[in-house]
Amino acid sequence: MERTRKPQQERAKKTVEAIIEAGFMFISRQSKETLTTTKVADIAGVSVGTLYEYFGNKEEILDAMYARFSEDVTAMLREVTPEVIRKTPDQGILHILQHLREMLSRDNQRYLHCAALLSQNLPEQHVAPIRQVLATLSLQYLSRNPEYINLPNLPVMNYIMTHGGIAALVHQLSSDDPMVTFDELSQGLATMARHMIEGSRRDAEQANP
Amino acid sequence: MERTRKPQQERAKKTVEAIIEAGFMFISRQSKETLTTTKVADIAGVSVGTLYEYFGNKEEILDAMYARFSEDVTAMLREVTPEVIRKTPDQGILHILQHLREMLSRDNQRYLHCAALLSQNLPEQHVAPIRQVLATLSLQYLSRNPEYINLPNLPVMNYIMTHGGIAALVHQLSSDDPMVTFDELSQGLATMARHMIEGSRRDAEQANP
DNA sequence: ATGTTTATTCGGATTCAACTCGGTTATGGA
DNA sequence: TCCATAACCGAGTTGAATCCGAATAAACAT
């Protein structure tokens, strides 16, 4: 027997939506630490009791926000996949990053305003689906561009690119005074991928002339 | 007027030490969420009141733990710097990573047992000094190996390597079922650095024959 | 229409962990 | 030995998270 319920009627869905929305509003002005269920309920225009009908505890509100973000990223990735797999690796990466920036700027830059929260607290549980979709994208890419399949180190390179790339991006986006611009970083990641691929190829040729 | 005091007598230093130690003990068995000041005080063998003499709030206990970790990493980096700058970039990276693993295994693997905490919660404030020392190390490296100075993209490459590398490592270390081994990842990071340097060189020669 | 059931909302009451504070004990030096 | 100060203690206070029983609204059957 669940202690929280799923919204069934239209107004209940609006309520849940308002609560998540209130969460984003609050976080964009204040921090995770100063967030209280009462304040979120107030902003959402509902009572605490109502809030607890749909969210078992405070964390679940944040979880819903993280999930929303994660879904938006994965949706974007799935959407651009067909175009990306037609490009060179570095151009594909640039393509993804341009769409990412566009996505982060939607809704009056909602996500960018919450960058501190998302970069410092996004739990692995919600990052995992993003990695998953990136892995799928890589596979599709290889399937359409088999010339890259034989590269040695491919799994490790992939691992570093996805984990490291996400981290570098997130850090750039949430920094007040970034050491590099988003464009420089995008370009750098794309260039890095190109060099890694070319380098691996050379290594392979060296070993197997 | 501070609300917390600095330990002056020997026994007070022992107390502070015991509290931080208790924090690590607790986290290695449970999580940040289930940690309470009372439980930490109990484990440390002191009363809550005493705990609050030296730590203004619960977060400060965790902060002390993060700081301890950060200091251990930076100390290690400073220690290996002289040897690292005598090696090739990829060998230097491997050297650092071997020492890192050794450091993480000290004290009965204290840090590895707290990997989830350190990887998910280590605040930027405590990562920054590590990046700082890495930046210094890079500068010293370049100073001793000026042949790398003219590489285009050096700042961005450095940014990606430090931010991305740290993230990939931390993820690997805290994962129950890592997709790659620590050694593979070390090797991958070293190889990646080599390819990026060689690739940048080629690009530069291409543009400026 | 009207009664009935179920969904939704409400906000005061409860709980529990963070934090406080006045009192006690230990230390170090005059 | 005595005093000032450091350290320690743990019951008591506070406030935010969470609960729950009553009130209201929608859905739906008759």
ipTM exceeding 0.90?
yes
Task: Kindly tell me if the per-residue pLDDT of A110 is higher than 80.
Answer: yes
Q: Which residues of B fall within a CB distance of 8 Å from A165?
A: 160, 164
CA proximity to B169, closest of B107, B125, B104: B104
Q: In this predicted structure, what is the pLDDT of residue A163? A: 85
- The more confident residue out of A179 and A84 is A84
Tokens of A27: 């976080």
Q: In this predicted structure, what is the pLDDT of residue B144? A: 97
CA proximity to B23, closest of B110, B130, B102: B110
Q: In this predicted structure, what is the pLDDT of residue B87? A: 98
Are the C-beta atoms of residues A149 and A197 closer than 8 Å to each other?
no
Cα(B202)–Cα(B200) distance, integer angstroms:
5
Q: Give the chain B residue whose CA is nearest to the CA of A199.
A: B195
Q: What pLDDT band is residue B142 in, cutting at 50, 70 and 90?
A: very high
- The more confident residue out of A146 and A209 is A146
Task: Kindly tell me if the per-residue pLDDT of B1 is higher than 70.
Answer: no
Strands (E), B63-186: none
Q: What pLDDT band is residue A81 in, cutting at 50, 70 and 90?
A: very high
Q: Which nucleotide is closest, CA of B52 to its C1'?
A: C19
Once rounded to an integer, what is the mean pLDDT over residues A117-138?
A: 93
Q: How many CB atoms lie within 10 A of CB B104?
A: 23
A185-206 pLDDT, tens per residue?
999 999 999 999 999 999 988 8
Task: Kindly tell me if the per-residue pLDDT of B159 is higher than 90.
Answer: no
A131-189 pLDDT, tens per residue?
999 999 999 999 999 999 988 888 888 888 888 888 888 889 889 899 899 999 999 99
Are the C-beta atoms of residues A52 and A37 closer than 8 Å to each other?
yes
Q: In this predicted structure, what is the pLDDT of residue A191? A: 93
Are the C-beta atoms of residues A60 and A52 closer than 8 Å to each other?
no
For chain A, helix (H) and strand (E) counts, in that order, are 10, 0
Task: Give domain limits for chain B.
Answer: 10-56, 65-207
Once rounded to an integer, what is the mean pLDDT over residues A91-119?
A: 95
Q: Which residues of B fall within a CB distance of 8 Å from A192?
A: 157, 160, 192, 196
Once rounded to an integer, what is the mean pLDDT over residues B9-31?
A: 97
A13-46 pLDDT, tens per residue?
999 999 999 999 999 999 999 999 999 999 999 9
Strands (E), A23-97: none
Q: How many CB atoms lie within 10 A of CB B58?
A: 16
Q: In this predicted structure, what is the pLDDT of residue A80? A: 98
**In chain A, % of residues over pLDDT 90:** 79
Once rounded to an integer, what is the mean pLDDT over residues B6-26?
A: 97
Contact B156 A120 (CB under 8 A): no
Cα(A5)–Cα(B197) distance, integer angstroms:
56
A72-79 CB contacts, 8 Å cutoff, 24+ apart = A72/A103, A72/A111, A73/A100, A73/A103, A73/A130, A73/A133, A74/A129, A74/A130, A74/A132, A74/A133, A76/A100, A76/A103, A77/A130, A77/A133, A77/A134, A77/A137, A78/A133
Task: Kindly tell me if the per-residue pLDDT of B2 is higher than 80.
Answer: no
Cα(B42)–Cα(B54) distance, integer angstroms:
15
For A192, the closest of B163, B167, B196 (CB atoms) is: B196
Task: Kindly tell me if the per-residue pLDDT of B102 is higher than 80.
Answer: yes
Min CA distance, A116 vs chain B (Å)? 10
Cα(B95)–Cα(B74) distance, integer angstroms:
15
B173-194 pLDDT, tens per residue?
889 899 899 999 999 999 999 9
Q: Report CA-CA distances (Å) from A43 to A26, A36, A37, A66, A116.
A: 8, 11, 10, 19, 21
* A168 CB within 8 Å of a chain B CB: yes
Q: What pLDDT band is residue A1 in, cutting at 50, 70 and 90?
A: low
CA proximity to A93, closest of A146, A127, A141, A148: A141
Cα(A30)–Cα(A24) distance, integer angstroms:
10
Q: What pLDDT band is residue B162 in, cutting at 50, 70 and 90?
A: confident
Q: What pLDDT band is residue B145 in, cutting at 50, 70 and 90?
A: very high
Task: Kindly tell me if the per-residue pLDDT of B64 is higher than 80.
Answer: yes
Q: In this predicted structure, what is the pLDDT of residue B182? A: 95
* A160 CB within 8 Å of a chain B CB: yes
Once rounded to an integer, what is the mean pLDDT over residues B104-117?
A: 94
* Separation of first and last alpha carbons in chain B: 65
Tokens of A206: 């060296």
Strand D nucleotides within 7 Å of a protein CB: 6-12, 16-21, 26-27
Once rounded to an integer, what is the mean pLDDT over residues A108-117?
A: 94
Cα(A7)–Cα(B168) distance, integer angstroms:
39
Q: In this predicted structure, what is the pLDDT of residue B165? A: 87
CATH match of B10-56 with 1.10.10.60: yes
Q: In this predicted structure, what is the pLDDT of residue A161? A: 87
B118-141 pLDDT, tens per residue?
988 999 999 999 999 999 999 999
